[in-house]
Amino acid sequence: MKKNRVEEDIYILAIESSCDETAAAVVKNGRQVLSNVISSQIALHTIYGGVVPEIASRKHIEKINQVIEAALAEASLELKDIDAIAVTYGPGLVGALLVGVAEAKAIAYGAGKPLVGVHHIEGHVSANFIEHPDLEPPFVCLIVSGGHTHLVVVKDYGEYEILGRTRDDAAGEAFDKVARAVGLGYPGGPKVDRAAREGNPRTITFPRAKVEGAPYDFSFSGLKSAVLNHINHAKMMGETIHVPDLAASFQCAVVDVLVSHTVEAAKELGYGRVAIAGGVASNSALRAKMKENCEKAGLAFYYPSPIFCTDNAAMIGVAGYYEYINGVCSGWDLNAVPNLKLGER
Ligand code: KG4
Ligand code: ZN
């Protein structure tokens, strides 16, 4: 029997398997996370220095049922209590996505529940709704993850205007590459963040790239090359590299550009609220500088807790909820779309 959407509670079971986390969550009424179970494969991929797609898919297959069972148990619910199954269908690693999509389809079909395909990046943006009941669109959002760097206006739930994007490397990718170059290992972002706390960001002046004619676009490949050149030069001269100073100087260059573009966009376009999303949004320097500059500019600043910044299924449940209540559901032909663009269905 169909529930009355206004008066009754709506429970979404969400599944996320786009990269190296096998995750499931139960979200009530779009903003209340009843469970958020994440099985991380980081230790498995660390020895290879990055995510190995085939290993990721195999691990998802092994873990996914346990993770879903745990998410339902933690929420003290059974499948029959769930209103819809939400699943990330792109972008991401195709084999990894397929595990979640096939699982979600099987559960939805078997239990006679609606299926909602969710855009992974929309999930990241939606993570902001979990801990901020007052946050409603429109707002400016900076999305910074391992594969994406986008500056957008969230015009409404599921409706985005892209203001800028990276022309080359994603912010997280730059963190990961620099970490590898100085021997910090994988995943690089959190390790650079930690090392930078002991360093001086003014030791080395790295470039802050601007893209000609596109004030809200980003470019990090020049910065990455400058860091690699610095390391090579130091090696040639027989100098030792002070990793904390290098990490702090690199991080400061990334953060300066991310913050200035975001705050400028909000001011120029007249939006009073700014949010950040994606794995790099858990970076301590980015959070601190964005907070400071938003305060100076009189903008309200929203950011998710670190656990909701990196990949998780709760954020997919939130995005899935808004699709579901707007009547957007997927067919049984839902497939993984590894290169799904923001705003595409
Ligand atoms: O959103 P996410 O978990 O996965 C993708 O959708 O890509 O983001 C992962 C990225 C990685 O590049 C990782 O190094 C970066 O987020 N990251 C960080 C931090 N924590 C994770 N980057 C900078 N500082 C952090 N504290
Ligand atoms: Zn992600």
Render each residue's pLDDT in the chain as its tens digit; 345 residues. 445 454 699 999 999 999 999 999 999 999 999 999 999 888 888 888 888 999 999 999 999 999 999 999 999 999 999 999 999 999 999 999 999 999 999 999 999 999 999 999 999 999 999 999 999 999 999 999 999 999 999 999 999 999 999 999 999 999 999 999 999 988 899 999 999 999 999 999 999 988 999 999 999 999 999 999 999 999 999 999 999 999 999 999 999 999 999 999 999 999 999 999 999 999 999 999 999 999 999 999 999 999 999 999 999 999 999 999 999 999 999 999 999 998 777
Ligand 1 atom 11 nearest Cα:
146
Residue 321: φ, ψ to 5°: -60, -50
DSSP β-ladder status, 84-90 and 115-119: parallel
Q: How far apart are CA 297 and CA 282, in angstroms?
A: 22
Instruction: Give bridge partners of residue 269 from the DSSP assignment.
Output: none
User: For helices 284-297 and 188-196, what crossing angle results, to 10°?
Assistant: 70
Q: How far apart are CA 124 and CA 276, in angstroms?
A: 9
Q: How far apart are CA 219 and CA 207, in angstroms?
A: 10
Q: Ligand 1 pocket, 283 CB below 6 A?
A: yes
pLDDT at 250: 98
Q: Ligand 1 pocket, 176 CB below 6 A?
A: yes
**pLDDT per position as a tens digit, 264-314:** 999 999 999 999 999 999 999 999 999 999 999 999 999 999 999 999 999
Q: How far apart are CA 252 and CA 21, in angstroms?
A: 28
Structure tokens belonging to residue 246: 């290098």
Q: Ligand 1 pocket, 145 CB below 6 A?
A: yes
Considering every ligand atom shown, identify the ligand nearest to the alpha carbon of residue 172 and give its number. Answer: 1
pTM for this prediction:
0.95
The gap between the terminal CA atoms of the chain, to the nearest Å, is 28
Place of tokens 């500056």: 151
* Burial status of residue 49 (CB atoms within 10 A of its CB: 0-12, 13-18, 19 or more): middle
Residue 302: φ, ψ to 5°: -120, 140
Residue 205: φ, ψ to 5°: -95, 105
CA angle 212, 156, 90 (to 5 degrees): 70
Instruction: Give bridge partners of residue 277 from the DSSP assignment.
Output: 143
Structure tokens belonging to residue 163: 């203001």
Q: How far is the CA of 124 from the centre of ligand 2 (A)?
A: 7
Structure tokens belonging to residue 46: 């660390």
Q: Ligand 1 pocket, 311 CB below 6 A?
A: yes
Considering every ligand atom shown, identify the ligand nearest to the alpha carbon of residue 286 and give its number. Answer: 1
Residue 185: φ, ψ to 5°: 85, -170
Q: How far apart are CA 188 and CA 183, in angstroms?
A: 9
Q: How far apart are CA 14 and CA 30, in angstroms?
A: 11
- Residue 18 CA: which ligand 1 atom is closest? 6
Q: Which letter, b or e, does each residue of 69-100 get, where b requires 16 or more Cβ atoms within 10 Å of its Cβ?
A: ebbbeebebeeeebbbbbbbbbbbbbbbbbbb
Q: How far is the CA of 261 from the centre of ligand 1 (A)?
A: 20
Q: How far is the CA of 137 from the centre of ligand 1 (A)?
A: 25
Q: Ligand 1 pocket, 315 CB below 6 A?
A: no
Residue 275: φ, ψ to 5°: -130, 160
Q: How far apart are CA 41 and CA 122, in angstroms?
A: 23
pLDDT at 49: 82
